[in-house]
Amino acid sequence: MALNVVSICGSLRKGSFNAMVQRALPALAPDGMTITPAPSFAEFPLYNADIQNSTGFPAPVNVLADAIRAADGVVFCTPEYNFTIPGGLKNALDWVSRLPNQPFAGKAVALQSASPGPVGGARVQYDMRKAMAFLDAFVLNKPEIFIGNCAAKFDEKSGELKDETTRGFIKQQLASFATFIARVAPKA
């Protein structure tokens, strides 16, 4: 079965470790799974119901929502900011959560995080699981991908994920994600 998965990076900076993870995904995906980066949330205004009610949903919000709706699954690669979800990523979730035909409803989701610290972003993932539960997404359980002490795991120049153990874990997760997507997909 051909699976179309979009990846969303929680960090906006160019040299982001999580963006490096995101770029590593296509090569680690199982046969039949295509992984493409989702449109950016960098230009979203901060959520304000008054904007939504006066001028409607900003165009970039609809673009991201459409990409999520059209995908069979979503993989988040996100850093942890201040022990929880980055504000920008949460703002993106807040915007799309208000749309009719809410794009995460019934969507298969997998979580990954990379961090220079030893915990590897565990707290952001557990908070993401809570928000995703509210949004009625189906979040993959295991294997979890926490890339701790991540700076040493990428090539300093190319930014390529070179740590074989981590690459192996991601392969396993994406293979499990393919099975999971098939399991939770709407049945004909």
Partner 1 sequence: MADRQLDVLVICGSLRKGSYNAALARMLPGLAPPGLKFRTAPSFEKFPIYNADIQNSTGFPADVVAWADAIRSADGVIIVSPEYNWSIPGGLKNAIDWVSRMKDQPFKDKPVALQSAAGGILGGSRSQYHLRQSLISVDAHLFGRPEVIVAFAPQKFDEKTIELKDQTAIDLIKQQLAGFEKYIRRHVPG
Shortest distance, CB of residue 47 to partner 1, whole angstroms?
6
19 SS3 class: helix
Nearest residue to 2 (alpha-carbon basis) of 180, 171, 182, 183: 182
Residue 39 near partner 1 by CB under 8 A: no
Shortest distance, CB of residue 89 to partner 1, whole angstroms?
7
Segment 132 to 151, residues that bind partner 1, using CB under 8 A: 133-135
15/100 with CB nearer partner 1: 15
Residue 131 near partner 1 by CB under 8 A: yes
Within 10 A of 60 (CB to CB), how many other CB atoms are there?
A: 17
Residue 49 near partner 1 by CB under 8 A: yes
Q: Take residue 28 and report the two structure tokens written for it.
A: 């680690």
Residue 36 near partner 1 by CB under 8 A: no
Q: Residue 183 — left, alpha, or beta (φ > 0 → left; ψ -120 to 50 → alpha)?
A: alpha
Query: Do 100 and 56 contact (CB within 8 A), yes or no?
Result: no
Residue 50 near partner 1 by CB under 8 A: yes
Query: Do 33 and 174 contact (CB within 8 A), yes or no?
Result: yes
Instruction: Give the footprint of partner 1 on this chain (CB under 8 A).
Output: 11-15, 41-42, 44, 46-50, 81-94, 97, 123, 127, 130-131, 133-135
